[in-house]
Amino acid sequence: MKIGFFGGSFNPPHNGHIQSAKKALDCLCLDLLLLTPAWSPPHKVMPPGSPEPAQRSEMCRIAADNLTGIEVCELEIEHKIRYTVDTVNLLQQIYRPDELWLCLGGDMFLTLQDWAEADKLMKICRIAVFSRTDREINILPEKAAELSRRFGACIRLMENPVIPVSSTWLREKIPSGAGAEHIPPGVWEYIQKEKLYEKFCSL
Ligand code: ATP
Protein backbone atom coordinates (compact mmCIF):
# COMPACT_ATOMS: atom_id res chain seq x y z
CA MET A 1 0.00 0.00 0.00
CA LYS A 2 1.21 3.50 -0.84
CA ILE A 3 0.17 6.30 1.50
CA GLY A 4 0.65 10.04 1.13
CA PHE A 5 0.77 12.37 4.14
CA PHE A 6 -0.10 15.99 3.36
CA GLY A 7 -0.08 18.11 6.51
CA GLY A 8 -0.72 21.80 7.08
CA SER A 9 -2.69 24.42 8.93
CA PHE A 10 -5.32 24.50 6.18
CA ASN A 11 -6.42 27.89 7.48
CA PRO A 12 -8.37 27.77 5.16
CA PRO A 13 -7.79 24.93 2.66
CA HIS A 14 -7.56 26.29 -0.90
CA ASN A 15 -7.25 25.14 -4.51
CA GLY A 16 -3.43 25.03 -4.26
CA HIS A 17 -3.76 22.36 -1.57
CA ILE A 18 -6.40 20.38 -3.43
CA GLN A 19 -4.66 20.47 -6.82
CA SER A 20 -1.42 19.36 -5.13
CA ALA A 21 -3.21 16.53 -3.32
CA LYS A 22 -4.73 15.29 -6.59
CA LYS A 23 -1.40 15.53 -8.38
CA ALA A 24 0.33 13.49 -5.66
CA LEU A 25 -2.40 10.86 -5.74
CA ASP A 26 -2.04 10.45 -9.52
CA CYS A 27 1.69 10.87 -10.07
CA LEU A 28 2.81 8.78 -7.09
CA CYS A 29 0.09 6.14 -7.70
CA LEU A 30 -1.02 6.45 -4.08
CA ASP A 31 -3.78 4.28 -2.66
CA LEU A 32 -4.64 6.96 -0.13
CA LEU A 33 -3.66 10.56 0.48
CA LEU A 34 -4.23 11.86 4.02
CA LEU A 35 -4.97 15.56 4.33
CA THR A 36 -3.86 16.13 7.90
CA PRO A 37 -4.82 19.39 9.61
CA ALA A 38 -2.32 20.43 12.26
CA TRP A 39 -3.36 20.79 15.88
CA SER A 40 -0.77 23.50 16.49
CA PRO A 41 1.75 23.80 13.65
CA PRO A 42 5.36 23.98 14.90
CA HIS A 43 6.56 26.03 11.90
CA LYS A 44 3.92 28.74 11.97
CA VAL A 45 2.14 31.00 14.42
CA MET A 46 -1.61 30.51 14.19
CA PRO A 47 -2.96 34.07 13.82
CA PRO A 48 -5.43 35.26 16.47
CA GLY A 49 -9.02 34.73 15.35
CA SER A 50 -8.17 31.54 13.42
CA PRO A 51 -10.83 28.83 13.28
CA GLU A 52 -10.62 26.02 15.83
CA PRO A 53 -8.84 22.78 14.85
CA ALA A 54 -12.24 21.07 14.47
CA GLN A 55 -13.35 23.78 12.02
CA ARG A 56 -10.14 23.53 9.97
CA SER A 57 -10.65 19.79 9.91
CA GLU A 58 -14.26 20.18 8.77
CA MET A 59 -13.13 22.50 5.94
CA CYS A 60 -10.64 19.84 4.85
CA ARG A 61 -13.37 17.20 4.97
CA ILE A 62 -15.61 19.35 2.77
CA ALA A 63 -12.71 20.05 0.36
CA ALA A 64 -11.98 16.32 0.04
CA ASP A 65 -15.62 15.33 -0.32
CA ASN A 66 -16.15 13.28 -3.51
CA LEU A 67 -12.39 13.08 -4.18
CA THR A 68 -11.68 9.37 -4.38
CA GLY A 69 -8.48 8.44 -2.55
CA ILE A 70 -8.23 11.65 -0.52
CA GLU A 71 -9.29 11.52 3.14
CA VAL A 72 -8.92 13.69 6.20
CA CYS A 73 -6.73 12.34 8.99
CA GLU A 74 -7.39 13.77 12.45
CA LEU A 75 -4.50 12.08 14.25
CA GLU A 76 -2.64 15.32 14.98
CA ILE A 77 -5.73 17.01 16.38
CA GLU A 78 -6.89 13.97 18.36
CA HIS A 79 -3.48 13.30 19.93
CA LYS A 80 -2.29 16.94 20.00
CA ILE A 81 0.75 15.94 17.95
CA ARG A 82 3.12 18.77 17.01
CA TYR A 83 5.87 17.07 15.05
CA THR A 84 5.48 15.36 11.70
CA VAL A 85 7.95 12.65 12.70
CA ASP A 86 5.53 11.55 15.45
CA THR A 87 2.58 11.50 13.05
CA VAL A 88 4.38 9.45 10.41
CA ASN A 89 5.52 7.01 13.10
CA LEU A 90 1.88 6.49 14.01
CA LEU A 91 0.89 6.15 10.34
CA GLN A 92 3.55 3.44 9.96
CA GLN A 93 2.02 1.51 12.85
CA ILE A 94 -1.55 1.94 11.61
CA TYR A 95 -1.14 1.25 7.87
CA ARG A 96 2.20 -0.64 7.59
CA PRO A 97 2.56 0.95 4.11
CA ASP A 98 5.04 -0.22 1.49
CA GLU A 99 5.68 3.43 0.73
CA LEU A 100 4.91 6.45 2.88
CA TRP A 101 5.22 9.79 1.07
CA LEU A 102 5.53 13.12 2.83
CA CYS A 103 3.97 15.64 0.42
CA LEU A 104 4.80 19.30 0.88
CA GLY A 105 5.23 22.63 -0.86
CA GLY A 106 8.60 24.12 -1.77
CA ASP A 107 8.51 26.64 1.09
CA MET A 108 8.26 23.86 3.66
CA PHE A 109 10.72 21.63 1.81
CA LEU A 110 13.41 24.31 1.99
CA THR A 111 13.19 24.14 5.82
CA LEU A 112 12.92 20.34 6.08
CA GLN A 113 16.42 19.79 7.42
CA ASP A 114 15.50 21.86 10.51
CA TRP A 115 12.37 19.89 11.39
CA ALA A 116 12.33 17.74 14.52
CA GLU A 117 14.29 14.51 13.92
CA ALA A 118 14.67 15.40 10.24
CA ASP A 119 17.05 12.50 9.61
CA LYS A 120 14.56 9.97 11.03
CA LEU A 121 11.72 11.62 9.09
CA MET A 122 13.63 11.30 5.81
CA LYS A 123 14.37 7.63 6.59
CA ILE A 124 10.70 6.82 7.23
CA CYS A 125 9.27 8.84 4.32
CA ARG A 126 9.90 9.50 0.71
CA ILE A 127 9.43 13.18 -0.06
CA ALA A 128 7.24 14.71 -2.80
CA VAL A 129 7.67 18.44 -3.38
CA PHE A 130 5.36 20.92 -5.13
CA SER A 131 6.68 24.22 -6.46
CA ARG A 132 4.79 27.21 -5.11
CA THR A 133 6.56 29.92 -7.10
CA ASP A 134 8.46 30.04 -10.37
CA ARG A 135 11.51 31.25 -8.45
CA GLU A 136 11.61 27.99 -6.45
CA ILE A 137 11.87 25.91 -9.58
CA ASN A 138 15.62 26.67 -9.68
CA ILE A 139 16.30 26.31 -5.95
CA LEU A 140 14.46 23.05 -5.29
CA PRO A 141 16.76 20.73 -7.31
CA GLU A 142 19.80 22.07 -5.41
CA LYS A 143 18.13 21.47 -2.06
CA ALA A 144 16.99 18.01 -3.15
CA ALA A 145 20.56 17.08 -4.12
CA GLU A 146 21.86 18.36 -0.77
CA LEU A 147 19.30 16.40 1.29
CA SER A 148 19.86 13.24 -0.73
CA ARG A 149 23.60 13.52 -0.12
CA ARG A 150 23.34 14.41 3.54
CA PHE A 151 20.43 12.23 4.68
CA GLY A 152 20.03 9.66 1.89
CA ALA A 153 16.58 11.13 1.30
CA CYS A 154 14.44 9.89 -1.59
CA ILE A 155 12.99 13.04 -3.13
CA ARG A 156 10.65 13.55 -6.04
CA LEU A 157 10.16 17.05 -7.41
CA MET A 158 6.66 17.15 -8.86
CA GLU A 159 6.12 18.84 -12.18
CA ASN A 160 3.11 20.80 -11.06
CA PRO A 161 1.68 24.01 -12.43
CA VAL A 162 2.34 26.79 -9.92
CA ILE A 163 -0.90 27.82 -8.20
CA PRO A 164 -0.12 31.21 -6.69
CA VAL A 165 -2.48 31.24 -3.72
CA SER A 166 -1.87 31.02 0.02
CA SER A 167 -4.06 30.86 3.10
CA THR A 168 -2.45 34.09 4.34
CA TRP A 169 -3.60 35.95 1.23
CA LEU A 170 -7.08 34.45 1.54
CA ARG A 171 -7.42 35.40 5.21
CA GLU A 172 -6.82 38.99 4.19
CA LYS A 173 -9.34 38.85 1.33
CA ILE A 174 -12.22 36.86 2.83
CA PRO A 175 -13.45 39.60 5.23
CA SER A 176 -14.23 41.79 2.20
CA GLY A 177 -15.98 38.93 0.39
CA ALA A 178 -13.12 38.23 -2.05
CA GLY A 179 -11.18 35.04 -2.78
CA ALA A 180 -14.02 32.59 -3.50
CA GLU A 181 -12.46 31.54 -6.82
CA HIS A 182 -9.47 30.06 -4.95
CA ILE A 183 -11.49 27.99 -2.48
CA PRO A 184 -13.58 24.85 -3.11
CA PRO A 185 -17.25 26.01 -3.23
CA GLY A 186 -18.37 23.89 -0.26
CA VAL A 187 -15.55 25.33 1.86
CA TRP A 188 -16.56 28.85 0.86
CA GLU A 189 -20.16 28.15 1.91
CA TYR A 190 -18.94 26.77 5.26
CA ILE A 191 -16.80 29.88 5.84
CA GLN A 192 -19.82 32.11 5.19
CA LYS A 193 -22.17 29.99 7.31
CA GLU A 194 -19.77 29.87 10.28
CA LYS A 195 -18.73 33.52 9.77
CA LEU A 196 -15.06 32.52 9.80
CA TYR A 197 -12.34 35.14 9.24
CA GLU A 198 -14.83 37.98 9.66
CA LYS A 199 -13.08 39.61 12.58
CA PHE A 200 -9.67 38.57 11.50
CA CYS A 201 -6.46 39.95 12.82
CA SER A 202 -3.75 39.04 10.30
CA LEU A 203 -0.16 38.40 11.38
P1 ATP B 1 -0.26 30.17 5.20
O2 ATP B 1 -0.37 31.18 4.12
O3 ATP B 1 -1.21 30.34 6.34
O4 ATP B 1 1.17 30.02 5.68
P5 ATP B 1 -0.36 28.00 3.25
O6 ATP B 1 -1.18 28.52 2.12
O7 ATP B 1 1.11 27.94 3.07
O8 ATP B 1 -0.72 28.76 4.60
P9 ATP B 1 -0.50 25.50 4.70
O10 ATP B 1 -1.75 24.91 5.25
O11 ATP B 1 0.45 26.06 5.66
O12 ATP B 1 -0.95 26.58 3.58
O13 ATP B 1 0.22 24.48 3.75
C14 ATP B 1 0.13 23.07 3.85
C15 ATP B 1 1.05 22.47 2.79
O16 ATP B 1 0.57 22.83 1.49
C17 ATP B 1 2.50 22.98 2.87
O18 ATP B 1 3.37 21.91 2.55
C19 ATP B 1 2.53 24.05 1.79
O20 ATP B 1 3.82 24.26 1.27
C21 ATP B 1 1.60 23.45 0.74
N22 ATP B 1 0.97 24.47 -0.09
C23 ATP B 1 0.27 25.54 0.32
N24 ATP B 1 -0.16 26.26 -0.72
C25 ATP B 1 0.28 25.65 -1.83
C26 ATP B 1 0.18 25.94 -3.24
N27 ATP B 1 -0.44 27.01 -3.69
N28 ATP B 1 0.75 25.06 -4.10
C29 ATP B 1 1.42 23.97 -3.64
N30 ATP B 1 1.56 23.64 -2.32
C31 ATP B 1 1.00 24.47 -1.42
How much of the chain exceeds pLDDT 70, in percent?
98
Q: Per-residue pLDDT for 151 more than 60?
A: yes
Q: For ligand 1, atom 27, which residue shows the shortest CA distance?
A: 16
CA of 56 to the centre of ligand 1 (A): 14
Nearest ligand 1 atom to the CA of 13 is 10
Give the C-alpha distances (Å, rounded to integers) separating 104 from 20, 23, 39, 192, 200: 9, 12, 17, 28, 26
CA of 72 to the centre of ligand 1 (A): 16
CA of 164 to the centre of ligand 1 (A): 10
How much of the chain exceeds pLDDT 90, in percent?
89
Three-state DSSP class for 105?
A: strand
The pLDDT of residue 41 is 76
The pLDDT tens digits for 86-124 are 999 999 999 999 999 999 999 999 999 999 999 999 999
The pLDDT of residue 198 is 86
Mean pLDDT computed over 182-203: 88
Burial class for 183, CB neighbours closer than 10 Å (0-12, 13-18, 19+): buried
Q: Per-residue pLDDT for 202 more than 70?
A: no
Q: Per-residue pLDDT for 203 more than 80?
A: no
Ligand 1 site residues (CB inside 6 A) read 8-11, 16-17, 20, 44, 104-105, 107-108, 130, 132, 163, 165-168
Q: Report the distance separating Cα 138 and Cα 99, nearest Å.
A: 27
Q: For ligand 1, atom 30, which residue shows the shortest CA distance?
A: 105
